[in-house]
Amino acid sequence: MSNQPATTSSTAVIGPKKFDWGHFVRQYMIIGVLALFVAALAIMTNGNSIEPVNLVNVIRQVSAIGIIGVGMTFVIITLGIDLSVGSILGLSAVVAASLAQIPGGSLVKFQGIDVPVIIAVLAGLAVGAFAGFINGVLIAKFRLAPFIATLGMMSIARGLAYIYTGDGRPFSGLKDDYNYLGQGYLFNDPKQPLSGIPLPVVLFIVVAIIATFLLSYTKFGRYTYAIGGNEVAARVSGIRIPRVTILIYTLSGLLAGLAGVLWSARIGSGNSTLGQGIELDAITAVIVGGTSFKGGIGKIWGTVVGALLIGVINNGLDLLNVSPFLQIVVKGCIIIVAIIIDERKNTKKA
């Protein structure tokens, strides 16, 4: 029943505005869940899990999921899905890494060509954005279902990454300036080598802040929600659906490209298999973070918390020596529980 009881009654919404505790709890429950997990793991690991070094590590591990999740949030708010982000990550990683190799080695892709690191980074981002743009055109102009269009791109981008690396060997021997993006720290105290905030974490925070601004304070953000709320009504209200759709998938591709650059820089090599399966983690982060699979509802901070939750759980299970295979099972359970909660939220809202 889409028509909820109280919606038929105009008396439902009249009267003084009271603070709605139920609503508050449903809205921010995810933060409580995160706190609960952090506390439980802290107890089980005798406090090891909340050592600052470990916490920073957890956030760095989820920064790729988080950055991709931010783009995915826009996509899912408009009732879309982007399955190609993992493959785009891999393609961007190999392209950027190939241009960031120290010249002269025997495994260098482009012998005799030496471009500045910034060009390598921009090339990685451009590849991601372009792949996303193609997704957007397929969905907006050729009216393909997002699932189908991005499933195709998932295969195409991964295939291109394999072809680009030739024999499948990763591009290693990258310049220090490039690796710094993945391995460096902001506010680093020179006397303590691992102090400060890792750069991927910094970029994750910056991306999240910009995206929050886009979603809540710009026309583009209103368009995103409106399309998810009711695409036909949005079009009648003057929104150019194709343009906005293309922008959203381009953004998702761009962020996947950024994650690809950061990840290859972190490990110091560009590998064509990077990012396999990360789309599922990103989607999990988005849904766990309260973005509705029914469109029109979602917040960036929710996705950030969702990504952290995945990181904390993975890390906790690692510290407790739980088998990585079981970790995959746990992740599956989390996404199902999140969707059940989403369903119940939707039926209770009215």
Residue 11 vs 106, nearer CB to other proteins: 11
Q: Smallest distance, Å, CB 58 to other proteins?
A: 33
Find, among 302, 304, 303, 328, the residue nearest to 314 by Cα.
Answer: 328
Of the residues 26, 109, 222, 299, which one makes contact with other proteins according to CB under 8 A: 222
Structure tokens at 48: 């090891």
By the rule CB under 8 A, 141 interacts with other proteins: no
Does 293 bind other proteins (CB under 8 A)? Our answer is: no
CA distance 13 to 122: 51
Q: Least distance from C-beta 36 to other proteins, angstroms?
A: 26
Closest CA to 42 of 315, 341, 342, 344: 315
Cα 129 to Cα 65, 151, 213, 337, distances in angstroms: 17, 17, 20, 32
**Of 111, 155, 237, 347, which one interacts with other proteins (CB under 8 A)?**
237
CB of 28 to other proteins, least distance (A): 16
Answer left, alpha or beta for residue 322, where phi above 0 means left and psi between -120 and 50 means alpha: beta
Query: In terms of CB distance, is 109 or 222 closer to other proteins?
Result: 222
Among 90, 296, 302, 306, binds other proteins (CB under 8 A): 296
CB of 298 to other proteins, least distance (A): 10
Indicate whether 302 belongs to the interface with other proteins (CB under 8 A).
no
- Distance CA(224)–CA(36), nearest Å, equals 32
Q: Which residues pair with 185 in a beta bridge?
A: 198
| Sign of the torsion formed by the C-alpha atoms of 258, 260, 263 and 267 | negative
Q: Which of 128, 295, 311, 316 binds other proteins (CB under 8 A)?
A: 295
**Whether the Cβ atoms of residue 85 and residue 71 lie closer than 8 Å to each other:** yes
Residue type present at position 89: L
* Nearest distance, CB of residue 310 and other proteins, angstroms: 25
* String of contacts with other proteins for each residue 19-38, x by CB under 8 A: ---x----------------
Closest by CA to 260, choosing from 200, 316, 176, 311, is: 200
Give least dist CB 2 to other proteins, A: 9
Residue 6 binding other proteins, by CB under 8 A: yes
Stretch that binds other proteins, among 15-23, 49-57, 256-264, 310-318 (CB under 8 A): 15-23
Using CB under 8 A as the criterion, which residues of the chain lie in contact with other proteins when the complex forms?
1, 4-17, 22, 217-223, 225-226, 228-230, 232-240, 292, 294-297, 348-350
